[in-house]
Amino acid sequence: MKATVMFGAGDVRIENVPDAGLVERTDALVRVTRACICGSDLWPYNQMEPSATGQRMGHEFIGVVEAVGADVHAVKTGDLVVAPFAWSDGTCVFCHEGLHTSCLHGGWWARNGIDGGQGEAVRVPQADGTLVALLVGEDDALMPSLLTLSDVLGTGHHAARAARVAPGKTAAVVGDGAVGLCGVIAAKRLGAEQIIILGRHPDRIALAREFGATDVVSARGDEAVERVREITGGLGAHSVLECVGQGESMVTALGIARPGGAVGRVGLPQHEAIPTTMATFFDNVTIGGGPAPARAYIEELLPDVLDGRIEPGRVFDRVVGLDEVPDGYRAMNDREAIKVMVTL
């Protein structure tokens, strides 16, 4: 079968790889119908050391179940399913606590011999715990929005939850990528009264406004902190969603949180330490977040997607076939596209 393999920075290829197939009794074999490229895929795209064997890619996908192992009962052959960006058993202590990314028997796509989502098919471990059946057709118009359940919508929601967004509160979203835009959707959905988006790309800002952002701050660094303080009566935001992961964005996020506020960080950290420890200590700022347990949020968010109350699929502004995935990486890296969907 064909799948996406990264061989080094800027070197993404579509390669022939061994066919996916059932191994364990708890596996399902899924033929991928939709996948996408993640902002986090751009970190290795810019930094990966050259590798002769390469790294399989992709952790967001929807597909059709083609076969299931003897111990799989929650999904069956023919089901259209969405996979969250980590696989999990759904039964261990952490899964019961809603923290599926810490599953004792779980793991990550495209690592340790597990297939990636940017390919023709995937062996899904722990299929009962991992997959959620979607009761719609394979080419339903909602497919882009349903695909965001695998990562960016759940991740934006996780940022909002970790930042303790609540009705009447002020939320600030650092970053105008697909996760930041989904953070705006999540903040509005959870009742934030004022939603400030920090970003500087006009097309993304326009979409953020349509998703519910009330204020825009396009400055960076100290100037951004000043500007957010101005529009929050000098106090700062109750809830800050850090959706980038760079040192500078984290400094900004911590700098705009008001005393007693909370920062939910979901951008994959590219810095070693959390900055401004003294200032945030004296301001009693809570710092939370991490990889979103996207699996835990699918049931909560799916009805709003199916009813059209939220339209996170609008973050996809480019669609490519599997053979065009390398150019999809380039387009996202060049900020030509917010997020690229792959149709198979």
Please report, as ranges, the residues that interact with Zn ion according to CB under 5 A: 88-89, 92, 95, 103
Least distance CB 81 / Zn ion (angstroms): 18
Rounded least distance, CB 330 to Zn ion, Å:
37
Cβ distance to Zn ion smaller for residue 46 or 73: 73
Closer by beta carbon to Zn ion, 227 or else 295 = 295
- Smallest separation, CB 56 to Zn ion (Å): 23
Q: How far is the CB of 125 from Zn ion (least distance, A)?
A: 11
Indicate the residue among 126 and 239 with the shorter CB distance to Zn ion.
126
Burial of 304 (0-12, 13-18, 19+ CB in 10 A): middle
Contacts 24+ apart (CB under 8 A), 133-140: 133/74, 133/75, 133/79, 133/80, 133/81, 134/62, 134/80, 134/81, 134/82, 134/302, 136/80, 136/306, 137/80, 138/33, 138/64, 138/80
Q: Between 13 and 25, name the residue whose CB sits nearer to Zn ion.
A: 25
Hunting for tokens 């495209």 — which residue is that? Answer: 110
Min dist CB 124 to Zn ion, Å, is 14
Cβ atoms of 34 and 343 within 8 Å: the answer is yes
The torsion defined by the Cα of 250, 200, 214 and 268, in degrees rounded to 10, comes to -30
Which lies closer to Zn ion via its Cβ, residue 92 or residue 257? 92
Q: Where are the beta strands (DSSP E) in 96-227?
A: 107-108, 121-124, 132-133, 170-174, 194-198, 215-217
